[in-house]
Chain A
Amino acid sequence: MREIVRRAIQSRPELTAELLQRGMFGPEEKAELLPLLSKEGSLKGGMVGPVQFATLLAEGDAQFAARAVLRKMLGHHELTWLDRLLRFQKPSKKRDELTRIVERAMEGRKGNAHRNT
């Protein structure tokens, strides 16, 4: 199973459904993901609002959230909320990396977000 598919399965169903709707997954990932989701019955998810979406990403798997940001699945308003919500969490390496990715996305940059200094 692909890493991203595994993470999608483990995430909250409404988040995976929303990201699926927004087109985060490629055709091969979709082909692998859809049967698994329909088996679990978690394919149908209602629409989530921008703050809900950002909250689900902030409180979920950091690497999955990073993928969503790098694949430009979030608007500026959602990025701002994600940035705010990440600050409420205890500092950790994963959280800091995700924050860096979000900040870079807000500035219109992407790619390698590792700190050089």
Chain B
Amino acid sequence: MPTEILEAPETVLLNAVVKNLTALAARAWAKRWMITFTAPTGIGKTTAVDYADRSLPFDHRVIHCKQITTRYTLLRALGLAPGEKWTVHGRNWMRASDLYDRAVERIRERPYLLVIDEADRLSLDCFEILRDFWDDARLPMLLVGNEVLTEKLNRQHERLFRRIRVRFEQRPLREADQRKVLEFMGYEVADEEFALLWKLVGGSPGFAEALLENANEIAASKGAKRGIEALEGAARYFPMCRKAV
């Protein structure tokens, strides 16, 4: 099966985060490994996962975790074929163990790479299920999350932690990369503004976007164009930035 990456859709800037994540996904699939990809919040992990979802040339499934994700919803997502609808209700409600068997059977029949975005939000029993999938079906996985993921796995899931072959830590973007991403996102940022942004949030385009959007709204409410004052005003909304302004 070919493992080269398809061409990028035009809406994604192929920066280090996107490249590293897709390369790790391809590696996890080729070697049938379990890999973790951790990076600070706002760096563009979800964007990279979305890109990988569209471009990986082999069977894969992406699960975007939420705080409301439970063991049952996870099993349901893996037990159903893509596009299949959940129709078992009432008396025919399927037990978690049945769903698990069904998911394992399907993975054995037709393996795929499981990509879990925001894996740091998974609960304890979900991690246990992932370990079971690995043991019973050798399901290759790419777990994507922030630094909490490493901490959680280290502290609470030693058995799963031992099965992980590669633990990749993505560094925050460098100044030039951050600038490129912001430009790509359509923000025209003056040097003075960028210097303040860099001081406040470093290489986190997501956080920079939140500050810029706030600043845009502050400026708009005064009928003016966004400037350094509006950006400083926006920073005051964030306790972690207040000291730096």
> Which residues of A line the B interface, CB within 8 A?
46-52, 55-56, 59, 81, 84-85, 87-88, 91, 96, 99-100, 103-104, 107, 115-117
* B41 A52 Cβ-Cβ under 8 A: no
Task: Decide yes or no whether B237 CB sits under 8 A from chain A.
Answer: yes
* A84 B221 Cβ-Cβ under 8 A: no
Residue pairs across A and B with Cβ atoms less than 8 A apart, 18 shown, are: A47-B221, A48-B217, A48-B221, A49-B216, A49-B218, A51-B213, A51-B214, A52-B237, A55-B237, A59-B238, A84-B206, A84-B210, A87-B42, A88-B206, A88-B207, A103-B66, A107-B68, A115-B123
Report chain A residues within 8 Å CB of B214: 49, 51-52, 55
Report chain B residues within 8 Å CB of A48: 217, 221
Given contacts A47-B221, A49-B217, A55-B237, contact A88 B42 (CB under 8 A): yes
Chain B 221-245 interface mask (CB, 8 Å, partner A; 1/0): 1000000000000100111000000
Report chain A residues within 8 Å CB of B218: 49, 52
Given contacts A59-B239, A103-B68, contact A49 B220 (CB under 8 A): yes
Task: Decide yes or no whether B67 CB sits under 8 A from chain A.
Answer: yes
Q: Which partner residue on chain B sits nearest A91 by CB separation? A: B148
> Which residues of B line the A interface, CB within 8 A?
41-42, 66-68, 70-71, 123, 125, 148, 206-207, 210, 213-214, 216-218, 220-221, 234, 237-239
Report chain B residues within 8 Å CB of A107: 68
CB proximity of A48 to chain B, nearest CB, Å: 7
* Distance, CA A91 to CA B237, complexed state (A): 19
CB proximity of B108 to chain A, nearest CB, Å: 27
4 tightest A-B CB contacts, nearest first: A49-B217, A51-B213, A99-B67, A100-B67
Q: Which partner residue on chain A sits nearest B123 by CB separation? A: A117
* Distance, CA A84 to CA B208, complexed state (A): 12
* B221 A55 Cβ-Cβ under 8 A: no
Total A-B residue contacts, Cβ distance less than 8 Å = 59
* Distance, CA A52 to CA B238, complexed state (A): 11
CB proximity of A74 to chain B, nearest CB, Å: 15
* A104 B221 Cβ-Cβ under 8 A: no
* B210 A85 Cβ-Cβ under 8 A: yes
Report chain B residues within 8 Å CB of A104: 68
* Distance, CA A88 to CA B128, complexed state (A): 27
Q: Which partner residue on chain A sits nearest B209 by CB separation? A: A84
Q: Which partner residue on chain A sits nearest B201 by CB separation? A: A88
* Distance, CA A87 to CA B39, complexed state (A): 13
* B237 A88 Cβ-Cβ under 8 A: no
Q: Which partner residue on chain A sits nearest B237 by CB separation? A: A55
Q: Which partner residue on chain A sits nearest B212 by CB separation? A: A51
* Most chain B CB within a 10 A radius of its CB, from A50, A84, A88, A117: A88
* Distance, CA A52 to CA B239, complexed state (A): 14
* Distance, CA A3 to CA B213, complexed state (A): 32
Given contacts A49-B220, A99-B67, A103-B67, contact A117 B210 (CB under 8 A): no
CB proximity of B202 to chain A, nearest CB, Å: 12
Given contacts A51-B210, A55-B210, A88-B206, contact A100 B68 (CB under 8 A): yes
Report chain A residues within 8 Å CB of B237: 52, 55-56, 59
* Distance, CA A85 to CA B206, complexed state (A): 9
Report chain A residues within 8 Å CB of B41: 87-88
Q: Which partner residue on chain A sits nearest B71 by CB separation? A: A117
